[in-house]
Chain A
Amino acid sequence: MSDAPRLSRRGLFRTVGGTAVLSGCTREGGGLRRPAHPEVAGPDPTEVQLVLDGRRVRARVPIVRTLATCLTEDLGATAPKVACDRGACGACMVRVDGRALPSCSLLAVDVDGRCVDTAAHPEPPPLLAALRKAFVEHDAAQCGYCTSGMIVAAWDLLEHANARADLTEDEVRRKMAGNLCRCGTHRAVVRAVLAVARGEVTAS
């Protein structure tokens, strides 16, 4: 079982753990209360607190409200878009504690006490800022409805790439495969992501 120690800690706590480290958060949710994980939530609406794009916010939501609906309707977020509402298109993608997830496939109550970052972060970290620039330069947004999700997916992919500068076109395609686009920006998206990976476009 030589691999055991390494494998056993891998991935999971960062991604689904209730006590997840705020590793990818672009701003620490310092002072945010840790959720008490009430034994039972619902059937009455429940309050959630989160750090959205670096700001502490709260909303009172029914249990069945998706994170996507909460973000756009309760909190006025403009970046996530609900296009399929089934986690199949990526347009609603946001980062939860630093990892990209489809916000239509999460409940708002799932992110209580978490950090949620969208493509609209007002103080973009360098990778996000670089991606924005690269997407404009390579014309990777046409109608723009898929773009926020594309950028979040690309942000995740670049941040977690093992060797960013060596990222291949094939890897970019595979990692971006959950993001659909009807205008057909795929070629430009791949070029933009690779341009950032290779340092051809930077934040400054």
Chain B
Amino acid sequence: MMPLRLVRPPDLEAAGRVLAEHGRRAVVRAGGIDLLDRWKEGIDRPDVVVDLRALLAGPDGPGLASLTADEGHLAAGSLVTLEALAEAELPPAFAAVRQAASSAANPAIRRMATLGGNLLQRPRCWYFRHGDLVCLKKGGARCLAAEGRNRYNAVLGGGPSYIVHPSTLATALALYDGDVMHAGAEDPAGRIPLADLFVTPDRRLDAEHALRPAQILTAVRLSAPPGLRSGYDAVRERRLYDWPYVEAAAALRVEGGVLRDVRIVLGQVAPVPWRARAAERRLEGAKATEAAFAEASRLAFEGARPLSDNAGKIAVGRGLVRRLLHRLAEIPLPA
């Protein structure tokens, strides 16, 4: 009926070999949630599925499942679950990672979903997900969201596709400097900077990341300057368990009364986790005040170009960033 082979490789090297052999007809499966969704929708029907969970029983298992952290570093194997990240006692520098992980999806999905799968999941744009519709990312001529209903699409960095990156975890990870480790037949111990992992649709339409099909994401390593504090928050239409309408992560430290190493990342507003650089610049070296945060939250959406239905993300996102900055810098919120 439907030919499909599920390959359970003993180690990463074998996994890499299978992927290299089958090229684009093969996909990797980690938590397997998004993959099965896409299979059911008929938008992704590979011939070969390489089940990475089989690796857990082999020699590469401990590395893929390890999660370690200290004040300035965090290293997570790609098969670490969101649940494990959500329940880990991470230092304050990485609080945003834990908060993001614990608010993604729902408890049972977090139990299955992995760090790697979450970062590399495909967009949730409703045109992309509709099995009967052929959008730009599926080889069609146009981005259907651009001219259709785009309430949940990009206000920043869009074009020619206006997807938003679906990963809540990515929003938090983009706060940090770090590397993404990958394996595969060509380059068994490769790495790329985390900042280069996600790519905008003007560079690539068939995927949202820079990895090639035969490359397997194996770990993420983050670093943080001493004294950094971080946080994550989101506005959802359904309060618990929903794809965020807008989300934001921020990190900063207070040094001699001024803000340092300020990073602000917006999620669900752009095809990649979006660094709000103008807002960061406004706060870098500034005093943490209500007025500074109000101004920074306005600057966070500098350059936004809303489509027909999604201008609301800008107003909501500004309020969200402002609230998050207050909490992070411990400047009391007005009643």
Residues of A within 8 A of B (CB): 1-4, 6-8, 10-13, 15-19, 37-43, 62-64, 66, 85-87, 90, 93, 99-102, 105-107, 109-110, 153, 156-157, 173-175, 177-178
Of the candidates B57, B66, B240, the one whose C-beta lies within 8 Å of that of A19 is: B57
Contact at A42–B5, with CB atoms within 8 Å? yes
Contact B81 A18 (CB under 8 A): no
User: Closest Cβ of chain B: how far from A49's Cβ, in Å?
Assistant: 16
A113 to chain B, nearest CB (A): 11
List 5 A-B pairs, minimum CB-CB distance, nearest first: A178-B106, A11-B84, A177-B240, A177-B241, A18-B57
Binary contact track B144-170/A, C-beta < 8 Å → 1, others 0: 000000000000000000000000000
Give the chain B neighbours of A7 by CB distance below 8 A: 66-69, 88-89
Total residue contacts A-B, CB cutoff 8 A: 151
> Are A107's CB and B32's CB within 8 A?
yes
User: Are A3 and B36 touching (Cβ within 8 A)?
Assistant: no
- Chain-A contact segment, one of B107-115, B222-230, B282-290: B107-115
B65 and A17 within 8 A (CB): yes
Interface centre among B1, B56, B66, B107 (most CB of A within 10 A): B107
A-side contacts of B37, CB under 8 Å: 86-87, 105
A180 vs B40: C-alpha distance when bound (angstroms) = 21
Cα separation A179 to B332 with both chains bound (whole Å): 35
Q: Could you list some 25 contacts between A and B, CB below 8 A?
A: A1-B68, A3-B68, A3-B69, A4-B68, A7-B66, A7-B88, A8-B68, A11-B84, A15-B84, A15-B111, A15-B112, A16-B65, A18-B53, A39-B9, A39-B10, A42-B3, A64-B4, A100-B108, A101-B112, A105-B32, A105-B36, A105-B37, A107-B32, A153-B107, A177-B106
CA of A15 to CA of B84, assembled, Å: 9
Query: B: which residues have CB within 8 A of A?
Result: 1-10, 31-33, 36-37, 39-40, 53-54, 56-57, 61-62, 65-70, 73, 79-81, 83-84, 87-89, 91, 105-109, 111-112, 114, 240-241
Q: Is the CB of A8 within 8 A of B32?
A: no
Query: A10 is contacted by which of B3, B87, B107 (Cβ under 8 Å)?
Result: B87
Please state if A16 and B53 are interface contacts (CB–CB under 8 Å): yes
Docked complex Cα distance between A11 and B73 (Å): 20
The answer for the CA separation of A55 and B57 in the assembled complex, in Å, is 25
Indicate the member of A4, A12, A13, A175 with the most B CB atoms within 10 Å.
Answer: A12
Are B107 and A175 within 8 A (Cβ)? yes
With A8-B66, A11-B81, A11-B84 as known contacts, state yes or no: A178 contacts B5, CB within 8 Å.
Answer: no
| Contact status B81-A38, CB under 8 Å | no
In contact, A105 and B33 (Cβ under 8 angstroms)? yes
* B7 in contact with A40 (CB, 8 Å): yes
